[in-house]
Structure 1
Amino acid sequence: MAKVSLLNKSFCLQNICETNYRKLFSLIPNLKSIDASAQGFSDGKPMLHMKILEQSPYTKTIQLSYFFENDAEALLEPAVKIRLYFDVCIAEVLRDYKRVEVSNAIGDISLSTDIMNYKWRLNYFLEKWLDHCLKADYTFVSDNIAA
């Protein structure tokens, strides 16, 4: 899906971000209380790794990725950076391992269609990936949980 061709792009983007928020909490039920990181396990599937990058009372920024390990190195891909907004129940993708953050991708803020298409691609990818992870029935174990 290269471009958004919907009539009300901002409404559809909001809906996908709301859906991704619910899916993230279905995948990682105690996400709000995790303080540092957590790992997701599913039989025959690569481990999922979730790391807290930043948190405040109303937001939390996480990185969600598969964890691939071989003899030489550990590889985290797709390394999706997601900001969760607890007050409005939205999860918005800020970047992935191949693309820069939205704020750096489109320098001219008057290009709202380009910005919307960029955000749509990132968040649509997350929606489909979360569907895949939920079907794989991952169970998350946290390194530590906030009190």
Structure 2
Amino acid sequence: MGNRQRSRLLPGKLTAAMSFVNPVNKSFCLEQVCESNYQKLLKLIPDLMAFKETAIGLAPHHTTLHLDIIERTPYTMTVELSHCFNRNKEAYLAPAVKIRVYLDAQLAEVLSDHVRAGVTQVFKDPGLSLEIMNYKWRLNYFLQKWLDHCLKKDYLFSADEATEALA
């Protein structure tokens, strides 16, 4: 990893920490993070490929995790993973991360999250490769840390019966 300024980091300030992590070879590190995110996502949701539309992750004394399958092709899946902080699912979902899962390459890449739009919406000029890489790095590094957090809570996923019964 490249430049890290540990002296300024405050405990519990993940967003501050993320701004200081700046690998020298971001392209290589981004690929490594996407590989790691794929493994962590499958560890968190072992039956990911089996779910048709939605699933709910439960852990004792923690907010629920919601998985929505947005798109499925032979080689990719697009899913949205979010915490629900209210009984009414539409009331407050965060961080609501949209993830493209590349099944053949075994990568998971963030497309957007609840705060930041997708890369193609933010950067219209493909010549801004450095800015695009930095943007993708921040999105995927965040997912890595969030998946680590979720894995520590021992979530168990099952199909959302209300949605599955309608299918």
Same fold (TM > 0.5): yes
Shift of 1:39: 0.3
Task: Find runs of 4+ consecutive structure 1 residues off by over 6 angstroms.
Answer: none
Q: What residue is the counterpart of 2:122 in the other structure?
A: 105
**Secondary structure in 1 matching 2:19:** coil
Quick one: distance in 1 between partners of 2:60 and 2:50?
A: 25
Unpaired runs of at least 5, structure 1? none
One-letter amino acid of the counterpart of residue 127, structure 1: Q
What is the aligned counterpart of 1:27 among 44, 56, 71?
A: 44
Higher relative contact order (CA 8 A, sep 6+): 1
Which of the pair is proportionally richer in helix? Answer: 2
Which of the pair is proportionally richer in strand? Answer: 1
Quick one: distance in 2 between partners of 1:107 and 1:86?
A: 28
RMSD (Å) for aligned C-alpha atoms: 1.7
TM-score (norm. length: structure 2)? 0.81
Shift of 1:3: 6.8
Q: What residue is the counterpart of 2:7 in the other structure?
A: none
Quick one: distance in 2 between partners of 1:115 and 1:27?
A: 28
Unpaired runs of at least 5, structure 2? 1-17
TM-score (norm. length: structure 1)? 0.92
Give per-residue Cα distances to partners, 1:18-60, cap 9 Å, x unaligned.
0000000000001012110100000111000000011101100
Quick one: distance in 1 between partners of 2:78 and 2:152?
A: 24
Q: What residue is the counterpart of 2:9 in the other structure?
A: none
Q: Percent identity?
A: 53
Q: Does the CA-based 8 Å contact 1:81-1:96 persist in structure 2?
A: yes
**Secondary structure in 2 matching 1:5:** coil
Q: What residue is the counterpart of 1:130 in the other structure?
A: 147
